[in-house]
Structure 1
Amino acid sequence: MATPPILTTHDLARTFETKRGTVEAVRGVDIAVQPGEILGFLGPNGAGKSTTLRMLTTLLAPSRGTATVAGHDLVREPALVRQRIGYVAQSGGVAPDEPVRRELLFQGRCYRLSTAEAAERIEELARDLDLEGLLDRKCAELSGGQRRRLDIALALIHRPEILFLDEPTTGLDPGSRADLWELIRRIRAERNTTVFLTTHYLDEADELSDRLIIVDGGRVVAEGTPEHLKTEYGGSPQATLQDTFIAITGRGPKKDDLAPVAL
């Protein structure tokens, strides 16, 4: 019997009312993610990636559509969804003057771990994420790569089933990016944690993802493994995603236009 998806959406959409009228940020997205999968969710800036992620993490209510996350209805059971997911935002959210250990302890207590349970979990995460020598250092004193490891530790402290990463390597140097890629692979391999990764770095999507969903204009425009997409649109599985173009038909202000979009 096939394993049911750990995350599904059907016609998930979000609109915003602005002074210029209604903006359709997400226009009906269907997604299915398997347990233990690393899903790359990518597209150009303004494609709807972060809005979709904010809906899936209960930070933004959908305008229409349905979704289940870790077995719970996104709209009817948001508290249960939050108990089973970890979320790393683009900018992080630590208090700069607080020690790393205290930030992790506070996060654990928010998820109703006892002080002893949280302390044990902090030591475990510090070993796994190479934070052992940093626990008593203030968050403001961490490097960019160290801060992202702390962000991930905060998201993992309650052992979530799904880890959402919103453009986690933006602003990191190449060495720190490579270290973070290895960490993401290790998290999935050692814990079978499902990873939902948004990125606009094509090499990152190619390196990490078991499967890709590409969005543009709030809609899914392509889906498949990196090898499938490179063969389908780039001509060869040996091509890089940077060499792959997808033609998207859209209606401009005056006439229909067909233009290749580099992703």
Structure 2
Amino acid sequence: MIQVEHAAVREGEVTLLAETSLRAEAGDAVIVRGANGAGKSTLLRLIAGMREPSRGTVSVGGRAPASPDPRFRRSLAAMIGLPPMAPDLTVRDHMLLVAATWAESGPEAERIAQEVLAELGLEALATRFPHELSSGQTQLFGLALVLARPFDALVLDEPEQRLDADRIVTVIAAVRRRQALGATVVIATHSDAIEAGLDGHTVWLREAA
């Protein structure tokens, strides 16, 4: 499903990602670890089609990642930083907007929105606006927006940010459910708990020279 072959990223004389390879099939989880500046986010952006490698190749579902390609957009969901949030829409409004974009009907979108909010413990916050959420609640809300749509591959960049231990357990459980349904997961993290909690293998990135 996801294959990275000897991919590297340079900007001028600066190496943002040293040569890296990984492979993940349906249902696999790859945990990407490394020091700050080792290129974890850069690697995820390559997989998400947000930038191209300076050398090497990246493929998702047998094709090079390409954000304008509707097949690619349908196949991969990514949280690399928080998703955009409108200040005048409630949590529920946001969830329905995302779910309705992909769902076959309004009732189906409503069901998905409610289920994901409940799964992440956010149902009591449905009528709040983004600015009324704590930093940890905002982080979980961002993840909820990603999980409210279909995907074959899930890419997450440090989803544990601003979360306490109990909420990290919630995130692990949500990711494992998608993995059990066949999603390919690539997750960059500094969390030992996330690494231990997922059924996958770890790729350590060496710090760019």
- List aligned pairs for 1:13-28, cutoff 5 A: 13-17=8-12, 22-28=13-19
**Matched letter for residue 42 of structure 1:** R
**Which residues of structure 1 form unaligned runs of 5+?**
1-5, 219-249, 251-263
Correspondence for 1:223:
none
Q: Is 1:201 aligned to residue 191 of structure 2?
A: yes
Correspondence for 1:9:
4
Q: Is 1:168 aligned to residue 159 of structure 2?
A: yes
Correspondence for 2:63:
72
Distance 1:76 1:136, change over 3 A: closer
Correspondence for 1:245:
none
Q: Distance in 2 between matches of 1:38 and 1:44?
A: 20
Normalising by structure 1, we get a TM-score of 0.69
Residues 104-132 of structure 1: CA deviation (Å, up to 9, x unaligned) = 23323555865554334223323433333
Q: Distance in 2 between matches of 1:129 and 1:63?
A: 38
Q: Is 1:215 aligned to residue 208 of structure 2?
A: no
Q: Is 1:81 aligned to residue 72 of structure 2?
A: yes
Residues 75-112 of structure 1: CA deviation (Å, up to 9, x unaligned) = 59754222211111234432344201221233235558
Q: Distance in 2 between matches of 1:63 and 1:78?
A: 21
Q: Name the SS for the 2:205 alignment partner.
A: strand
Q: Distance in 2 between matches of 1:96 and 1:174?
A: 28
Correspondence for 2:38:
47
Higher gyration radius (CA): 1
**Which residues of structure 2 form unaligned runs of 5+?**
none
Q: Name the SS for the 1:15 alignment partner.
A: strand
Instruction: For residue 184 of structure 1, report the CA deviation from its aligned partner.
Output: 2.4
Instruction: For residue 41 of structure 1, report the CA deviation from its aligned partner.
Output: 0.4
Question: Where do 4+ consecutive residues of structure 1 move more than 6 Å?
Answer: none
Q: Is 1:138 aligned to residue 138 of structure 2?
A: no
Aligned length: 209
Which residue of 89, 93, 113 corresponds with 1:122?
Answer: 113
**Matched letter for residue 16 of structure 1:** E
Distance 1:129 1:187, change over 3 A: farther
Which residue of 46, 52, 58 corresponds with 1:61?
Answer: 52
Distance 1:109 1:15, change over 3 A: farther
Q: Name the SS for the 1:13 alignment partner.
A: strand
More strand by share: 1
Distance 1:126 1:171, change over 3 A: closer
Tell which deviates more after alignment, 108-117 or 80-89: 108-117
Distance 1:148 1:209, change over 3 A: farther
Q: Distance in 2 between matches of 1:36 and 1:122?
A: 23
Residues 43-100 of structure 1: CA deviation (Å, up to 9, x unaligned) = 0001011001011111112222222113332259754222211111234432344201
Q: Distance in 2 between matches of 1:77 and 1:97?
A: 28
Instruction: For residue 159 of structure 1, report the CA deviation from its aligned partner.
Output: 1.4
Between the aligned residues of both structures, percent identity stands at 28
Correspondence for 2:146:
155
Q: Is 1:29 aligned to residue 24 of structure 2?
A: no
Distance 1:172 1:126, change over 3 A: closer
Q: Distance in 2 between matches of 1:68 and 1:161?
A: 13
**Matched letter for residue 194 of structure 2:** E
Q: Is the 8 A contact 1:58 1:78 kept in 2?
A: no
